Chains A and B, each alone.
Chain A
Amino acid sequence: MSAAYLARRIAAILLVLLIVSFAVFAITQILPGNAAVMILGEYATPDNLAALQLKLGLNDPWYVQYFSWLGRMLQGDWGTSVTLSQPVKTLIGGALWNSGLLALAALVLVTVIAIPMGILSALRRGTFIDLIIGLFGYLGTAIPEFVTATLLLVFFAGPDYGFLPAGGFVPLGESVSGFLYHLILPVVTLSIVLMAHIARQVRSEMSDVLASDYIRAARLKGIPERSVVTRHALRNAMAPAIAVISLDVGYLLGGILVVEEIFAWPGLGRLMIFALQNRDLPLIQATTLVLAGAYAVSNLIADIVIAMIDPRVRYA
């Protein structure tokens, strides 16, 4: 992987972010209401509304609004949220950290559980275990997260026999155990669908690799089965598995919106939903850009990891 390739990928990411920012801006211009309407709600008298709109700069022509915003962003001034009266940067910083921890925990859980599950499935192909794992795989992808989240809330956090907290958040700095305790249900909800996907994928890859000539040759050579699986088969199955994980990060970022809303996890997803519902343009812009950027960067990281694991992959 060359430096030139990396540079081009990064340039592409920036271009994408620019397009996304303009698209989001264009979108909010077409909206029937604007932030002032939403802030004042039904208590908006025409002159209150006019005064607030003037104050928020909502009367300037669209290109003025867009380019002044862009200029400020590039200088590091991400503006102030119109509904929360706080700098966008502060709001996003904290939220990004919280969402990042959640996403990372989910990815770790998924990798640790789904990959062995997939391998087991492939090794025991056609048996009862394979069937169970397969069933779990299918069901996991057929139930929307908000249903899973609700079911988990009822069974594990219910008042009668629940033992986990029903949503909420304790900062890591305040109490590590409290933080982890509140992390469990949101992470499990997020992970279920991913685990289903990835287990299936790993199973399919492993099955193919295990049936290949390369592996047959290794077995004929007398290499112990354990070694065959871990050193030879796994290496080859990993790359596509990681590719799928990286694609699923996109799904993760979507799932996070719902999970954060239900479990009251103060992350980027919930911030974005709030921003959308209240037409808070600076906040919508910033959260969308950060989420899109995170997705693009995670794809890049995944590509790098794949290249490191699988020497057959070459990037021009």
Chain B
Amino acid sequence: MRTDPEPSMLFNSFDFLMFFVVVFAVQLALPHRPRNLFLLAASYFFYGCWDWRFLGLMLLSTVIDFSCSHGIAHTRNPGHRKRLLWISVGANLAILGFFKYFNFFADSLSTLTSAVGLNLNPGTLNIVLPVGISFYTFQTMSYTVDVYRGHLKRLGGFEDFALYVAFFPQLVAGPIERGSRLAPQIEQGRRTSWNGVQDGGWLILKGLFRKAVIADNMAPIVDQVFDLKYLCDRCPDMVFEKNTLAGFGPMQFSFLADRILQREFDIVVCQLSDFDFSVKTSFRSIGCGGPLLRPPSLVSPRRSQPDSAGKIEATLPI
């Protein structure tokens, strides 16, 4: 199984803390336009810390969708608009498909041909999956679709759109935002309030606690229950991700429910510990899904938008 290289600037690292403090402080002092340019540069720097070579790929996706959405907004010809939409969707899916599924299809073709007695080996490439490719691909696509549908006014400046795509707090972790939520904030500017800082700080602390204290301590325990590689091999249509949850007594169920609802899983597999629910235990879990990241604008407004493969969370207590 291919694994992605670890991003070198993790959200719970000291490097990121320094980066965040500096970026936050500097952007506060800047007026609207320079602030956007500065945040764009910071976002590209953040992504480049993982692998600068893939900045070109993100830029390509940005240019394609900016051009297509620009064209869609400037023509009334329905045929032309539709063509531009398909160019955007096709190009994005081609990039995503290549990086995500090339080896899978090559392996499947090889298996299929050997099953009928042919020894055709198309070969596999050791393709690294760029971090966040699904997030920014679907985010740019959802933007173009929203502009096409007339739900969103296109962003005027290229740098605004580039920031919308690369905005570092959500670039590698999501969620995939609808254009109508994030784009106007980028275009019209933002006012930093003390309440906003407090709310944001609380969210960061909560997330950091769950990640650094709970998840990181539980992660090795998950490995003692599941053979993740085996599950990946046996269920190639699903994308697995390891999630860990912990707590004691009722709190663990609350954490778990919270997590499941946030991630919009369709199925939860849960193994109960021991015999009678009495052990003060912690949950260990992995999550898996089909098309893990779906553009919000392409799905129904129901809480959960089940697709054919669905998302699955498997949870096992100690």
A binds B: no
**A binding-site residues for B, Cβ under 8 Å:** none
